[in-house]
Structure 1
Amino acid sequence: MMTLAEVDALADRAHAGQVDKIGVPYVEHVRAVAAGLAPFGPELAMAGLLHDVVEDTAWTAEDLRAAGVPDRVVRIVEAVTNEPDGSPTAYEEKIRRVARDPDAALVKIADNAHNSRADRAAGLPPEQRERLAAKYRAARRVLWAAADPARVATVLRIVNPDLLPELTGA
């Protein structure tokens, strides 16, 4: 079985040359997601590192298993991976599906929190920023309801503390 450091190196190789919507090396996003999941153990951190590998690279779930990624990690990655249909309805269905798995929900919460950071959104055109903010806000309502509030707060404190008032209603 792979170690967390080996999975980090795999994610780095898999996302080599990729950048996010604002031009930052993509591996920084998956590392931020993993950091938010680290308090819950190495397997959730691994899932954070790999959460977009199947969706955004040539790697498949079977490739991950063959490389020695723990099966639990691969199952979580599969749970958070988008289906080929990228429609808004498909995304809403995906969020409801992810919310049924507590581990997958935490990974998606960390992903959502990082994607919702004001410093990242500031680099987007206003129309895209507003559309994504609404999409992520709607997803949070479903995901947060499916997870232990203390775990959600732990992720948010690490990944995006600006969302804590939204969680607590303050």
Structure 2
Amino acid sequence: MKTLAEVDALADRAHAGQTDLIGVPYVEHVRAVAAGLAPFGPHLAMAGLLHDIVEDTEWTAEQLRAAGIPDRVVAVVEAVTNVPGTAYEEKIRRIAEDPDATLVKIADNAHNSRSDRAAALPPGKRERLAAKYRAARRVLWAAADPADIATILRVVNPELLEECAP
């Protein structure tokens, strides 16, 4: 089985040269997601590091398994990977059926929703994405334990803590 450090190195290599919407090296996003999931153990942190690898690189689920990534980690990665032809809202509902995938997507959503990141986007895109992420949070947060949500938010996006307070 791979260690968390080995999975981090794999993610770093897989996302080499990629940048996010605001021009930051993409690996910083997956590392931020993984940091929010670290309190839940190494498998969820690994899933955070790898959550976009099948969607955004040449890696496949089969290659991840062959590389020694635990089956449950790969299953979570597959659960959060976009399926062509599936609407975003349907994808979120599908993810919310898997407790581990839900936590990964909550961490991903929280990082994507950071105001410091959104500020670098053009206003129209910023507003569209904010609405999309808010709608996803309603579904995802309803499927997760509020204490788990708060654990993730404290690390990834403390600004959202107020939004998740009962």
What TM-score do you get using the length of structure 1 for normalisation?
0.97
Q: Return the match for 1:116 from 113, 118, 121.
A: 113
Asked whether 1:6 is paired with 2:1, we answer: no
Q: What percent identity do the matched residue pairs reach?
A: 83
How many angstroms apart in 1 are the aligned matches of 2:84 and 2:15? 19
Q: In structure 1, give the amino acid aligned to 2:49.
A: L
The letter of the residue matching 1:153 is A
> Is residue 162 of structure 2 the alignment partner of residue 165 of structure 1?
yes
Q: How do 1:45-84 residues align onto structure 2 when only pairs under 5 Å count?
A: 45-84=45-84
Correspondence for 2:140: 143
Q: When the two structures are superposed, what TM-score results if normalisation uses the length of structure 2?
A: 0.99
Matches within 5 A, 1:87-106: 90-106=87-103
Amino acid at match of 1:32: A
Equivalent-residue separation in structure 1 for 2:84 and 2:111 (angstroms): 23
Gaps of 5+ in 2: none
Moved over 3 A (4+): none
Q: Any idea what the Cα deviations from partners look like across 1:17-76, whole Å, max 9, x if unmatched?
A: 000000000000000000000000000000000000000000000000000000000000
How much does 1:97 deviate? Answer: 0.2
1:84 shift after superposition: 1.6
Rounded to whole Å, the distance in 2 between the matches of 1:4 and 1:141 is: 30
Separation in structure 1 between the aligned mates of residue 85 and residue 131 of structure 2, nearest angstrom: 20
Counterpart of 2:103 in 1: which secondary structure? Answer: helix
* CA-CA distance at 1:85 after TM superposition: 2.6
Equivalent AA in structure 1 for residue 142 of structure 2: A
* Residue identity matched to 1:134: A
CA–CA distance in structure 1, aligned partners of residues 111 and 19 of structure 2: 15
